[in-house]
Chain A
């Protein structure tokens, strides 16, 4: 890693200027848990590393309009210590705290996980199911994108080269809502997800599903929002018939590859199993 310049700007504007000045040879860094691995492996060779963690607003969680604004560089460990966030979005929190190890969670962030744009990113299906929105800043000001529109391909995002993902907005949580994230890995920890599924639900007083969002990861070039899967649950009490419909929708949406972590057939099968299990956990949490 020779000749790399390290910058730690104190504002978004400074960070954007540094990006523009480096003409494509810079990389943004939050927790560094993907970037440093790529630099070490020679897959990333930035001339400049721009550390986002000294920018206020990129770190920390604050309540906003009934929901939350999460600084994009905030570590998963810090997110896991926020009681209100955990209570409202247990699925998002459990997802980000499944990334790697305790040590990795001490650094890894939602922003880094999303912008690294691995199809198997753990936190992304949970964020998509939650209906999170990304706040993006660039030289032309600020814009917002639903999370599911940020990944456009493996390693590629919809952000321009001089834009920075600065925060996530999670909407207000209405009563009888909750979420869950499950993944399959061969060991108990430390593996990249073979499949990951996030489900978020809102129920009415009788336990009928009013709103449902289902998102699957590691079964396509990007994490998917499977609208038909959510639709299959709406209006049901998550009975077996509705769950079966949901699984069929998930299976239809899967277009996984076979690689060293799993075959396409296995991934599709497991995606359905995890979707059902995650939906039931979300239901149980929403009813509590």
Chain B
């Protein structure tokens, strides 16, 4: 793979801001999202969900519903493959298929309010709704548990009687709600605390928050009479959908074609399946296409939020501010099935800092709430909230500037993370310095306002991706990407191909392929598409360039070493030849004579993804009589390697910051005493609206491109949500005069702290 440094060659397309190729369809309403498909004979599917937080399913009687005119199929977990086994990579972790299947249609027990139990397909939405009412389910209600520490208590109701905490020796004799205990660390933490000249400690709590994509989950599934099926869905990974559906319904992969629709936001929440296996099972039963769309209430009740967390952190430092040791316990909610991102929380908590002695323990805890799904840097924001708040405490205690304290402790290349990786190509220091030198930071804090600063880290991953580059007969180019586009990646793919081929961006189109039309790929997530799929695109484009040169050499009857390719044109450098340069168009027009169609496809497993670092500054003010917070100024700086399309990179920073601000101030799942969710709507689940936010300034640090990527790109999508929780929390704490330890910092909570 080529070196990403480009040797100082000036780039013509990468780094510019061309109009994105799918923009017109999206601003005219032509773009088709999962709920926008209509097929002949299509039925409406609806799902019957548990009204209880925890119950045994005693019986399900669908007979009355089956008799209703217009009902064509009804399914329960009995229609899934009971032997569904194994794991599939999902989001940024692995999903046990049995649990994915049980989450899609409950088996034996319902584990949260909203847990799907049965589904119907009918000719009209009204008939499907009526049919749901006619399905009789008898439950034996069981005691429930919602909060993470309550779920860890020895007398807690237990969700799974086969859950024995992994990572504990000897294996516990009793089943519990603690799915796993993760331990990581290094050095001698006890000695560090003994030697410490100053310590800070604190307990921090965050609530469950939802990814909040505006588009509810939606799919259309169509079973062919010979078993060959098609699924249109809004998903971050068409191959993942295919794999999961195939396992759950016991079908060969090649019998399922998954066509990724445009996706209305995912942020990790659409890297699993909820509806697709159900819709296809319904379609299989009646032979007609079935569309299922979640209502917003269903999205909140039954699709994964991210974990709420309880964290205890202690820092040991010298009086000059060097952090010499840290200890942290993290307890994360997994929801009804195991798999919170607590291990990622442990890995990322201190990843910005070079701390010699570290001891982290993480608990993955189930309780009667929806199973969590990945949410943008899963596991990192909560842990960063705790650590960055503790560091702010340290800065206050030592009277140090919060940036200077972080500069003193920041990782530099060569340092080792707690999970054993070596820090490379890191521009965290430059990012901190950029914030320090920024207009925002150099402006004195306004009267009655306060400023908070925080840093954040995300690994970014590589992984399996595929891409194809086809040259059309008129010299234009089509790039085929394996990855759904959730943030503008089609533009970046086209740009990287255009740069490699030496073409103007207008001549390059990018499309996202279905599972039959391109090689396998991992999902869109992990901030990996620009890196890994981009790498595949560039390699394919380079292959095409090599092919074009060969064809030019053949046409000129010269050695291929005498062919130069630049700006989309081949020139002959053989002094003995007197030939005119050949354009892409010219070569493409004659491709049949030089070997046939010009195309290349690459499938790879991209290595060498580089981590990203972010530093945010937040200025805010608080109405002292009501506790209401207003963010007045916000700047997000990030180490991005190289911004392929700067406007879309800025958009990632701004969007992630906005989500983090919502997480800090107002978003949370509110449960009542019966374990029922009290706010499953956008009315009472309060995400930031346009009038809640100021402009969000961005600073893109490109001083350390990733040499493992052809254009130096690092992943950028996830880092931006990691710093804001503490950036906001640190500012609020400074106004309130006390450390804010619990999110969200809603007005009543803030007023209560101010009044104490």
A176 on the B face (CB < 8 A) = no
Contact count band on B: 20 to 34
| B689 adjacent to A187 (CB under 8 Å) | yes
Nearest CB on B from A55, distance (A):
29
Contacts of B666 in A (CB 8 A): 186-187
CB-CB under 8 A for A269 and B751, given A2-B129, A187-B666, A187-B689: yes
B161 on the A face (CB < 8 A) = no
A16 on the B face (CB < 8 A) = no
Partner of B686 from the list A2, A187, A269 (CB cut-off 8 Å) is A187
| A188 adjacent to B689 (CB under 8 Å) | yes
Nearest CB on A from B62, distance (A):
20
CB-CB under 8 A for A186 and B746, given A3-B126, A269-B751: yes
A262 on the B face (CB < 8 A) = yes
| B626 adjacent to A184 (CB under 8 Å) | yes
A6 on the B face (CB < 8 A) = no
Contacts of A269 in B (CB 8 A): 751
Contact count band on A: 20 to 34
A43 on the B face (CB < 8 A) = no
B443 on the A face (CB < 8 A) = no
Residue on B with the closest CB to A3? B126
| B679 adjacent to A260 (CB under 8 Å) | yes
| A261 adjacent to B684 (CB under 8 Å) | yes
| B748 adjacent to A190 (CB under 8 Å) | no
B726-756: CB near A (< 8 Å → 1, else 0) gives 0000000000000000000011100110000
Residue on A with the closest CB to B679? A260
A172-188: CB near B (< 8 Å → 1, else 0) gives 00000000000010111
Partner of A188 from the list B297, B670, B692 (CB cut-off 8 Å) is B692
| A187 adjacent to B688 (CB under 8 Å) | yes
Which A184-202 residues have a C-beta within 8 angstroms of B?
Answer: 184, 186-192, 194
Contacts of A190 in B (CB 8 A): 682-683, 686, 689
A245 to B622, alpha carbons, bound, how many Å?
26
CB-CB under 8 A for A262 and B748, given A188-B692, A189-B689, A190-B683: yes
| B686 adjacent to A191 (CB under 8 Å) | yes
Contacts of B684 in A (CB 8 A): 191-192, 260-261
Residue on A with the closest CB to B755? A269
A270 to B623, alpha carbons, bound, how many Å?
11
A276 to B140, alpha carbons, bound, how many Å?
53
Partner of B747 from the list A2, A3, A184, A192 (CB cut-off 8 Å) is A184
Nearest CB on A from B686, distance (A):
6
| A273 adjacent to B625 (CB under 8 Å) | yes
Contacts of A189 in B (CB 8 A): 689, 691-692
B697 on the A face (CB < 8 A) = no
Contacts of B630 in A (CB 8 A): 188
Partner of B748 from the list A1, A192, A266 (CB cut-off 8 Å) is A266
Residue on A with the closest CB to B668? A260
Which B680-696 residues have a C-beta within 8 angstroms of A?
Answer: 682-684, 686, 688-689, 691-692
B162 on the A face (CB < 8 A) = no
| B751 adjacent to A192 (CB under 8 Å) | no
| A1 adjacent to B126 (CB under 8 Å) | yes
A259-283: CB near B (< 8 Å → 1, else 0) gives 0111100100110010000000000
CB-CB under 8 A for A186 and B126, given A260-B678, A263-B748, A270-B626: no
| B670 adjacent to A260 (CB under 8 Å) | yes
Contacts of B689 in A (CB 8 A): 187-190
| B683 adjacent to A2 (CB under 8 Å) | no
Residue on B with the closest CB to A262? B748
| B683 adjacent to A273 (CB under 8 Å) | no
Contacts of A261 in B (CB 8 A): 684
Which A1-40 residues have a C-beta within 8 angstroms of B?
Answer: 1-3
A41 to B689, alpha carbons, bound, how many Å?
24
| B686 adjacent to A273 (CB under 8 Å) | no
A41 to B300, alpha carbons, bound, how many Å?
14
Nearest CB on A from B665, distance (A):
8
Residue on B with the closest CB to A192? B683
A281 to B630, alpha carbons, bound, how many Å?
21
A191 to B682, alpha carbons, bound, how many Å?
9
A43 to B670, alpha carbons, bound, how many Å?
21
A263 to B630, alpha carbons, bound, how many Å?
21
A263 to B749, alpha carbons, bound, how many Å?
10
Contacts of A184 in B (CB 8 A): 626, 628, 747
B215 on the A face (CB < 8 A) = no
B130 on the A face (CB < 8 A) = yes
Which of B625, B746, B748 has the most chain A CB atoms inside 10 A of its CB? B748
Contacts of B665 in A (CB 8 A): 186
| A191 adjacent to B748 (CB under 8 Å) | no
Nearest CB on A from B344, distance (A):
30
Which B462-495 residues have a C-beta within 8 angstroms of A?
Answer: none
A102 to B571, alpha carbons, bound, how many Å?
60
Contacts of A2 in B (CB 8 A): 124, 126-127, 129-130
Contacts of B747 in A (CB 8 A): 184, 186, 194, 266
Which of A187, A190, A269 has the most chain B CB atoms inside 10 A of its CB? A187
B655-681: CB near A (< 8 Å → 1, else 0) gives 000000000011000100000001100
Contacts of A187 in B (CB 8 A): 666, 686, 688-689, 691-692
| B686 adjacent to A186 (CB under 8 Å) | yes
Partner of B626 from the list A1, A260, A273 (CB cut-off 8 Å) is A273
Contacts of B748 in A (CB 8 A): 262-263, 266
Contacts of A194 in B (CB 8 A): 747
A194 to B746, alpha carbons, bound, how many Å?
12
Contacts of B129 in A (CB 8 A): 2
7 interchain residue pairs of minimum CB distance: A2-B126, A188-B691, A266-B748, A273-B625, A260-B678, A260-B670, A186-B666
7 contacts between A and B (CB under 8 A): A187-B689, A188-B630, A189-B692, A191-B684, A192-B683, A263-B748, A266-B747
Further 10 A-B residue pairs, CB within 8 A, beyond A189-B692, A191-B684: A2-B127, A41-B297, A184-B628, A186-B628, A186-B665, A188-B689, A190-B682, A260-B679, A261-B684, A273-B626
